[in-house]
Amino acid sequence: MSDAPMTETRIDHRVIAELVEPNSRVLDVGCGNGELLEILATSKGADARGIEISQVGVNSCVARGLSVIQGDADEDLSAYPDSAFDYVVLSQTLQATWDPKEVVRQLLRIGSHVIVSIPNFGYWQNRLHLLFKGHMPVTDYLPHSWYDTPNIHFCTIRDFVDLTKELGCTVEKAVALNGNGQRIPIQAPWWLWNLFGEQAVFLLKR
Amino acid sequence: MTSQDGDALTDAARLREADEPSSPVIRFGKDKPLRLDAGVDLAPWQIAYQTYGTLNEDRSNAILVCHALTGDQYVASTNPLTGKPGWWSMMVGPGRPIDTDRFFVICANVLGGCMGTTGPASTNPETGKPYALDMPLVTIRDMVRSQAMLIDELGIDTLFAVVGGSMGGMQVLQWAASYPDRLFSAAVLCSGARHSSQNIAFHEVGRQAVMADPDWCHGKYLEYDVRPAKGLAVARMAAHVTYMSDQSLHRKFGRSLQDREHVTFGFDADFQIESYLRHQGMSFVDRFDANSYLYVTRAMDYFDLAADYGGVLAHAFKGSKTRFCIASVTSDWLFPTSESRAVVHALNAAAGNVSFVEIDSPRGHDAFLLNEPELFTMVRGFLTGGARSRGILPPALADDWEAHS
């Protein structure tokens, strides 16, 4: 489901792995081919599980000994009990769900911590695209046209921060990454993150 | 030899298999009765089984394969009645997904069956005649209990995996619920935690067909040296349709005619599908006992795992450490994906360790018995991943493959 290139370790995966305490129980929602699960299992000793929508993705995970179910964030979160995991991860997937608010609510219910990474629609390149070309942004990072994109609920970093307020959860940590995958300094103001962050990773708590 | 002589020969062979199977068998005396859900003790009783591969020194590499409704213990070796290769030889064998170079595979004929485990065709020691309807009804849980006693006899404490499709999958789920500490992993294919109303309905049609055959003789046909072949064949024909899909029937047969240019304006098998079904029905009666068909279909009908746990399926898996692998097939309307998903959600609710995939195939329920590469990949990966974490060594020849996987 992700638009990010899969050839080398995804930058947001590295950032997420740093946020996870060793030996935790982790659920990765939208785990793709299981790259993050494998990083967490091998480098963090995590008991890592996944949910993935594509049969190919699930099979490639299971074939590597990972525990993954075929399903999606909109349908399959409600079956999990409260606080079933130490961390629930939703990386680059929120914008593709039908009901992002309900999904985040479910994530906060089943995970003691929630890690969400999002593509930032407020990134300056996207703004320029819309402002000057008058087209929906199509970039290397967001390569789909408006009519075939799985991303139906884009938001900006600011929008997401507003959603966390609305849901009454705490942002424990936030990391914004610029177009080169570099971190934007933590002391930078939100507007800077919102403009220069191509993607952001949030660590949330109920 | 006339065809009647041929029938008599097959009958004799089939009857012999019921008491004196070609495979190994363990006989339990009156001191080791099998306690049945029907509330009676079955004794003496016996269980017929086959094994493949070698049990390792730690006794940690055993996989129990549970067969479906009309399967048998010959999962990967020639069936002594039909002379056909094992029913799952694509899945089980050297280098196969269930690799007999790595694992010690056990498959037993189910309780109520007719290939050497006690069932209605077995001789009742009280009367010296076949049990017929004097055999108590059996359940999936009874089958599993009998398998656990077999595993005890084989000196195996914990199974590395229990694997099965359809009714075999029901047994796997029952294993996980009844003996959570005795299995490390469980693979459930094209199955569910209960038999649906529609499935009970189809079984009832089959049973009524058997019982409506005058040669059924209220179950005592073996005593009268006849058999309800027509009834059982019709039962098999109806059931066989449920194992396929509209799409697979259409692809395989369409409306093609059987060895003729035009329809005959009669009730011959004009269409290929009719001819195919008749053949399926007639070849089935040569290898299967009609009363066994009644008993085993009934066992499936009674299966409702949640009902044993206060109506909450998740409670059946509470605290389970078993790793589960669940697979369904898109075109399976006998055990549709929703049934598998219900099991997955129950396992999620119980914080269980579960993998699940829906295989995209047009072949219907029977897809799990056929050449489905995605299913093979899934099962192989699941077992290999588990074996690695259990320290079950790969076969020497596969070391290279293992290092690169």
Tokens linked to B112 = 């109520």
- B197: helix, coil or strand? helix
User: Tens digit of pLDDT for each residue in B267-294?
Assistant: 999 999 999 999 999 999 999 999 999 9
Better-scored residue on pLDDT, B394 or A36 = A36
Given a cut of 90, is residue B47 above it in pLDDT? yes
User: In this structure, what DSSP letter does residue B27 have?
Assistant: E
In terms of Cβ atoms closer than 10 Å to its own Cβ (0-12, 13-18, 19+), residue B214 is: exposed
Q: How far is CA A91 from CA A143, A152, A200, B17, B339, in A?
A: 17, 15, 10, 58, 29
Q: Are B168 and B107 in contact (CB under 8 A)?
A: no
User: Are A57 and B374 a contacting pair, CB within 8 Å?
Assistant: no
Q: Do B343 and A46 contact (CB within 8 A), yes or no?
A: no
**Beta bridge pairs of residue A47:** A25
Close Cβ partners of B403 (under 8 Å, ≥ 6 residues apart) = none
* Average pLDDT across chain B, whole number: 94
Let me know: does A37 contact A89? Beta carbons within 8 Å: no
Closest in A58, A65, A79 to B349, CB measured: A79
CA A70 to CA A59: how far, in whole Å? 9
* Residue A119: cis peptide before it, omega within 30 degrees of 0: no
* Contact call for A59 and B382, based on CB within 8 A: no
Q: Is the pLDDT of residue B224 over 90?
A: yes
Tallying the residues shown for chain B, one arrives at 405
Pairing of strands B104-108, B62-66: parallel
Smallest CA–CA distance from A53 into chain B, residue: B357
CB proximity B338 to A under 8 Å: no
In which band, very low, low, confident or very high, does the pLDDT at A185 lie, cut at 50, 70 and 90? confident
Chain A residues with beta carbon closer than 8 angstroms to that of B188? none
> CB–CB of B94/B136 below 8 Å?
no
Q: Could you tell me the two tokens for B63? A: 């996989």
Q: Of A52-61, B47-56, B67-76, B203-212, where does mean pLDDT reach its minimum?
A: A52-61
Residue A194 pLDDT grade (very low, low, confident, very high; cuts 50, 70, 90): confident
Q: Which CATH superfamily is domain A11-205 in?
A: Vaccinia Virus protein VP39 (3.40.50.150)
What is residue B2's predicted lDDT score, i.e. its pLDDT? Answer: 44
pLDDT over 80 (residue B42): yes
Helical spans, DSSP H, in B307-393? 337-349, 373-390
What pLDDT sits at residue B8? Answer: 66
Chain A contact present for B358, CB below 8 A:
yes
Contact B356 A84 (CB under 8 A): no
DSSP state of B317: G
Domain ranges (residues) in chain B: 3-196+309-404
| Annotated binding residue B101 | no
**Each residue of B308-334: pLDDT tens digit?**
999 999 999 999 999 999 999 999 999
Dihedral over Cα of B78, B79, B83, B88: its sign:
negative
Pick from B344, B351, B357: CB nearest A55: B357
Q: Which two tokens stand for residue B21?
A: 């199977």
Task: Please check the confidence at residue B98 and state whether its pLDDT lies above 50.
Answer: yes
- pLDDT band, residue A8 (cuts 50/70/90): low
**What is the pLDDT averaged over residues B149-153?**
98
Residue B137 to residue B114: CA distance in whole angstroms: 14
Full DSSP string of A39-79? HHHHHH--EEEEEES-HHHHHHHHTTT-EEEE--HHHHSTT
pLDDT at A122: 85
Is B166 a residue of the active site? yes
- pLDDT score, position B398: 45
pLDDT tens digits, one per residue of A69-127:
999 888 899 989 999 999 999 998 899 899 999 999 999 999 999 999 999 988 988 88
Checking if the pLDDT of B400 tops 80, the result is: no
Q: Read off the pLDDT of residues A124-180 as tens digits, 9 standing for 90 and up.
A: 888 888 889 988 888 888 889 989 988 888 899 999 999 999 999 999 999 999 888
Quote the mean pLDDT of chain A.
Answer: 89
Which residues in chain B touch residue A53, judged by CB atoms under 8 angstroms apart? none
Banded model confidence at residue A2, pLDDT cuts 50, 70, 90: very low
Residue B147 CA to residue B316 CA, distance in Å, equals 19
What pLDDT was estimated at residue B142? 98
Contacts of B120 (CB under 8 A, 6+ apart): B112, B114, B130, B131, B132, B133, B135, B219, B289, B291, B292, B294, B295
Interface of A with B (CB under 8 A): 49, 55, 58-59, 61-71, 76, 79-81, 84
Please say whether the beta carbons of A69 and B354 come within 8 A: yes
Nearest to A63 among B349, B359, B377 (CB): B377
The answer to the question of whether B236 is labelled as a binding residue is yes
pLDDT at A5 over 70: no
Cα B191 to Cα B165: distance, rounded to the nearest angstrom: 6
Residues of A in contact with B354 (CB under 8 A): 67, 69
Q: Which residue has the tokens 């029952």?
A: B174
What pLDDT does residue A191 have? 85
The one-letter amino acid code at B121 reads: A
Architecture of B3-196+309-404 per CATH? 3-Layer(aba) Sandwich (3.40)
* Least CB–CB distance from B381: residue in A64, A80, A84: A64
Q: For residue B389, list chain A residues with Cβ-Cβ distance below 8 A.
A: 65
Q: Write down the pLDDT at residue A139.
A: 83
